[in-house]
Amino acid sequence: MNGRSVLGVLVCAILLFGAALPAAAQEIQAKEYFLDNGMQVLMVERHEAPTIMASIFARVGSSNETTGITGISHLFEHMMFKGTETIGTKDIVRGRKIMAQLDSLKELMRDEEKIMRQQLRRGQINDMLAPEAKTPRYKELDAVFDSLVLEQRELIIKDQLDELYSKNGGFFLNAFTSEDMTGYFVRLPSNKIELYMWLESDRFANPVFREFYSERNVVREERRLSSESTPTGLIEEDFRSMFWKSSSYHWDVIGWASDVENITREQANDYFDTYYAPNNLTMILVGDLNPDEMIKMVKQYFERIPRGKVDPPEVITLEEKQYGEKRLIAKAEVNPQTEVWYHTVAWKHPDSYPLEVLAGIMSDKTGRLYKKLVEEKGIAKSSGGGGGRMFGGSGLAVDASQDSKRFAGAFQISAEGTSDVQAEQLEAAIYEVLEDLKANPVPEDELQKVKNQMKMRQIQFMDMMSGMGILFVLGQNAAFGDWTEANNNGKMCDAVTAADVQRVANTYFDEDQRNVLIINPKEEGSSGEPAEDPMMAQMIARIKGMTDAAQLEQMIGMVAGRMDAIEDPEEKAMMEKMMQVARDHLAELKAAGTK
C-alpha cells in the first residue's frame, strides 16, 4: 500500500497487525445510504471521542489499468492533493493558461520521444533519459517547458489542503493505493465535519491537476526508492509478474517506469471521469455522529456532483491456468530468503475462508512454520523485515497469508533464513509443513486456538486510532463490492472445520500451481559486515525521502504509541532504529524550515 507518506497510518497498521485485514470478530453496525448520483455512504456511530474518521474510497486500483497507463491509479493518489479551482492557487486563470501551454509543449516533445524510442530499440542510444540522448529539438522544447514550470510554481500555494485541515484540528490527512482500491482519509473534530464536506466535495468535483508532469517524476523517484534501490525490490517485481500470468495483477501498483513517464493529462482526465465519478465512490464516516442527521449534510455537498456519463468497465481478463511449476533464482545482499506462492481464490469464494484459517495455522510464533523452521530445525530467523512488499507481513521471518484479491487469489509463504543456510533448505522445510497439513487433520484444540487468535487481532485492529481499523475493514469490502462481508467473514472463518482445512491444502498446494522465489546471499563485501535487512533499508530510504515535517512527526507519534506492543527483541530493535532515523530526519527538516 503506497501513500503520500508511505510510512503513514496504513503502512504502520500493516506492520503492527499483519499484511491482510483480519477476519471480523465483532459486528460493525454501519448504516448505509445512497445519494441520487449513485454515491454510497456508510456511517458507524461511536461516541467515545469527539472525533470522526472520514474517508472516501474509490473502487479503482492497478488491477483496473491496462498496459501503457500502468501506475495511473497511484499517480491519481498524488494528483488529488494538488488542489482545485479555489484551493492551491494564487491565480487560477493564469495557472490554466500555463497548463495548456505545458500540454502543447509535451505533445511536441512526445514526437521527439518517438524518435528517441526508435533509436533506443535500434541500439543507437542506451538510455532515453540521458542528456546526450535528447534530440536538439527536444532540448529546445524542454528549455521552454522548464521556464513555464518555474512560472507555474510561483502561482501555487503548496499543501493548502493540509494547512486548512491542520488549522482546524485535522490529523493524518493521507491516502493509499492498492491493486483494487484507492482511499483518502483524515481524522478531524466532529464539529469540523462540514469543513470536510466542503473540501472533499470540491476536490472530487473540481480537481485541478497542476504540477502534473513534475508529479510523474515524483512517482518515478518513489519507484526508485521503493523498488530499484532496495536489495530485492526488482527481484520481487520479477516474481510478481512471473506469478500473475494474464491478469492485471501482473504489474506492481506503482506501475512500469516507462508507462509512468509517459501518461498524458488527457489520459488522466479520462481516467478520472470514469473511476472518480460518485457512482464509483464510497464515503465512510466513523465516530461522533448521528447518521440520519449527517446524511443531510452529505447530500447537500455531494449530490451536486453529477453521476459519471459511463460506468467503469468490467475487468474481464481472468488469470489463466498455470501448467507447471515456475521458479525464479536470484542472489542479493541479504540473508537467504524463500517465497512459495500458490494460485488460489478471490474474495468471497467459499474456499477463501478455510485458506485464511490455514494461513493462521501456519503463521505466528505458535504456528507450524515457526515451530518447524525456527524451533525444530533452527534454519530461519525468529524475526525480521524480509524483502519489502512480499516478505515479513507479520514482523516474523516466517509467515503465511491467503491474499484474496478482488479478482483472483494467492496463498503466500515466506521464510528468511539464518546466514549459514541456503534458501533451498527453507523451501524443503516449508514443504514438510505443507505435506503434514495435507496428510493429517488439524487437531481441534489447535484449530480453535487459531480462530481465537484471529478474533483477538480483529479486536485490536478495530480499536486502532478511534475507528481507523473499522474504516479500513469497511472500505476494503465496500471497494470489493459488498461491505457486509466485513461482518460475514468472521462467521465463515469460525465455521471452518479441520476437514475443510485439509481439503483446501490438498486442492491448492499442487506442484503445478507452485511459484518459487529463491534468493541466496551474494558474497560479503570486503568489510565482512552482513548486508542490511532490505525492509529496513527500504523504510529508511522512504523516511529520508519525506519532506513534510508535520506528517513525519505524526507518523513518529503513532509508531511510538505502539512500540510497547512489540515483544520480539529483534523486531523492537529494528523499529527503534527506524524511529531514530525518523527523529534525526525530523530535526533536519525543522532546522531547514527555520532558516
Domain ranges of the chain: 91-155, 326-521, 545-594
What's the pTM value of the predicted model, to 2 decimals? 0.84
C-alpha cell at 255: 506501475
Q: What is the pLDDT of residue 390?
A: 37
Q: What is the pLDDT of residue 559?
A: 73
Q: What is the pLDDT of residue 10?
A: 43
| 583 burial level (CB within 10 Å; 0-12, 13-18, 19+) | middle
Confidence class for position 551, pLDDT limits 50, 70, 90: low
| Mean pLDDT of the region 439-458 | 94
User: What's the chain's average pLDDT?
Assistant: 88
C-alpha cell at 41: 455512504
pLDDT tens-digit profile of 382-413?
Answer: 876 543 333 334 568 899 999 999 999 999 99
CA angle 277, 279, 284 (to 5 degrees): 100
Confidence class for position 105, pLDDT limits 50, 70, 90: very high
Q: What is the pLDDT of residue 110?
A: 93
CA 284 to chain centre: 19
Q: What is the pLDDT of residue 594?
A: 55
pLDDT tens-digit profile of 527-536?
Answer: 344 445 555 6
| Mean pLDDT of the region 261-274 | 93
| Mean pLDDT of the region 58-74 | 95
Q: What is the pLDDT of residue 27?
A: 84
Q: What is the pLDDT of residue 338?
A: 97
Q: What is the pLDDT of residue 35?
A: 98
Confidence class for position 427, pLDDT limits 50, 70, 90: very high
Q: 515457526: which residue's cell?
A: 370
Q: What is the pLDDT of residue 517?
A: 98
Q: What is the pLDDT of residue 187?
A: 94
Q: What is the pLDDT of residue 20?
A: 47
φ, ψ of residue 32 in degrees (nearest 5)? -110, 135
Distance CA 195, CA 278 (A): 19
Q: What is the pLDDT of residue 217?
A: 84
Distance CA 404, CA 408 (A): 7
Confidence class for position 9, pLDDT limits 50, 70, 90: very low
Q: Is the pLDDT of residue 296 over 80?
A: yes
Q: Check: CB of residue 26 under 8 Å from CB of residue 163.
A: no
Distance CA 70, CA 61 (A): 10
Range in 286-300, 554-568, 573-587 the model is least confident about: 554-568
Q: What is the pLDDT of residue 530?
A: 46
Q: Is the pLDDT of residue 121 over 90?
A: yes
The percent of residues above 70 in pLDDT, for the chain, comes to 87
pLDDT tens-digit profile of 474-525?
Answer: 999 999 999 999 999 999 999 999 999 999 999 999 999 999 999 999 875 4
Distance CA 185, CA 147 (A): 35
| Mean pLDDT of the region 278-304 | 97
Q: What is the pLDDT of residue 277?
A: 97
Q: What is the pLDDT of residue 146?
A: 94
Task: Give the highest mean pLDDT range of 46-55, 423-432, 531-540, 575-584.
Answer: 423-432
pLDDT tens-digit profile of 344-377?
Answer: 999 999 999 999 999 999 999 999 999 999 999 9
Q: What is the pLDDT of residue 238?
A: 96
Phi-psi sector, 579: left (phi>0), alpha (psi -120 to 50), beta: alpha
Confidence class for position 580, pLDDT limits 50, 70, 90: confident
Q: Kindly give the residue spans of alpha helices, DSSP state H, lying in 206-351.
A: 212-223, 233-243, 257-260, 265-275, 291-302
pLDDT tens-digit profile of 182-217?
Answer: 999 999 999 999 999 999 999 999 999 999 998 888
Confidence class for position 3, pLDDT limits 50, 70, 90: very low
Q: Is the pLDDT of residue 2 over 50?
A: no
Q: What is the pLDDT of residue 500?
A: 98
Q: What is the pLDDT of residue 567?
A: 62
At the top level of CATH, the class of 326-521 is alpha beta
Q: How far is CA 50 from CA 187, 188, 191, 466, in A?
A: 11, 9, 8, 10
How many of the other CB atoms lie within 10 Å of CB of 463? 13
Q: What is the pLDDT of residue 386?
A: 43
Q: What is the pLDDT of residue 588?
A: 83
Q: Is the pLDDT of residue 443 over 80?
A: yes
Q: Check: CB of residue 260 under 8 Å from CB of residue 17.
A: no
Q: Kindly give the residue spans of alpha helices, DSSP state H, lying in 481-529.
A: 485-494, 498-508
